[in-house]
Amino acid sequence: MPTHPQARPNFRNLFWYPFKITLITALRTFPLLGRLFPKLLGMGYHNTSHPEFLDDASQHRAKDRAVYNDISKQEFAPDRVTSDLFPSLWKPQTVQYPYERLEDMEPWLFVPGNYNGRIGVIWETCTACKMCVNVCPNDCLHMTTELRVDVLDNAEGEFEGYGAELEVGGYAAKFREEVTEELETFDLITAHAAPPAEWRFAQVLDLSGDSATVRWNDSGQEEILAQSELRTADDQIVSGRIDIGRCMFCGLCMEACGFTSFFMTNEYDGMAGFTRQDLWFDASRTRVLPSVHQEAVDGELAKRATKERDKRAKKAAKAAKAAKEGA
């Protein structure tokens, strides 16, 4: 198994770098040294004040103890905090997760690649065979369907144009331009919530020329739009929910999946909540982004596009044959 360069058993990793980190940690205990040599000792986050770490709830809880330790007068850094007794020293403090991640703070510390963390699913390649549901010992997987834009209907490049067409009585979707900026900064892996909704769904009431009359699902209002602004949506696309609170991260779902749709990532972020309901992950929170496993998505696109291409060719040949016989 290939190992990380900083995990190999050599002189640098076993002696020199641990000694260096220990020495730097001891020196930056003194804020004055940390501020005089921020690049060498601070590493971009040590001995830097972060007042946002002291939230209103923490101040309220510590208000009764302010006579002994007034935390509002202390300084807070990502891994250090001052005290009333020794205001000139920054005593070691637990990593301020989720504001900081351990591997981001100390690059030589990292999560092993074989660690079973957050579950990722490529729903575009899932066939709803329910092998994962049957093999799960804790019964935390549940298959269902959802209203979604099919991956082929939203494809670009060589696979563009082979998706389903708009139909009266069917569903359509329009991209929400207002979430573009939010999507650029949203990180599905570290987020504790579902990503912002990219599409606004509606039912197709009428098609005439290049326009379509739709009724929005969220407001019930009708609107006439150009068909070029809409994508075809389907309410029978495979989806599912995972109860992370019951999951023991055994990886059996990944092993049972015959379509490489399930992956056990080594991410530990975004799996906490204040209620049991927060631990129910819908498809939007488990969906592995196409850029992560693009090969699997491209393979599914090619298979569907080939099927649709052959279907259209047969339909065209049949229509040509009927026209020729009619003439």
- DSSP class per residue in 261-277: -EEE-S--TT---SSSG
Number of helical (H) and strand (E) elements in the chain, helices listed first: 10, 11
**Confidence at 214, pLDDT banded by 50, 70, 90:** very high
Residue 80, pLDDT above cutoff 70: no
* Beta-carbon contacts of residue 6 (< 8 Å; ≥ 6 apart): 13, 17, 107, 108, 110
All structural domains of the chain with their residue ranges: 5-105, 119-165+187-195+233-310
Residue 251, pLDDT above cutoff 70: yes
Q: Are 72 and 59 in contact (CB under 8 A)?
A: yes
Mean pLDDT over 1-5 rounds to 49
The per-residue pLDDT for 10 is: 80
Assign 3-class secondary structure to 12-35. HHHHHHHHHHHHHHHHCCCHHHHH
Architecture category of domain 119-165+187-195+233-310 in CATH? 2-Layer Sandwich (3.30)
Residue 148's φ and ψ, nearest 5 degrees, are -155, 155
Share of the chain above pLDDT 90, in %: 12
Per the prediction, the chain carries an average pLDDT of 77
Share of the chain above pLDDT 70, in %: 69
Residue 99, pLDDT above cutoff 60: no
- Put simply, whether the predicted model's pTM sits higher than 0.75 gets the answer no
Q: How far is CA 143 from CA 55, 252, 256, 274, 320, in A?
A: 40, 16, 15, 25, 43
Q: Residues 303, 304, 306, CA angle at the centre, nearest 5°? A: 65
pLDDT digits 0-9 by tens, 114-135? 788 888 888 877 888 889 999 9
Mean pLDDT over 66-85 rounds to 64
**In the beta sheet, which residues pair with residue 141?**
242
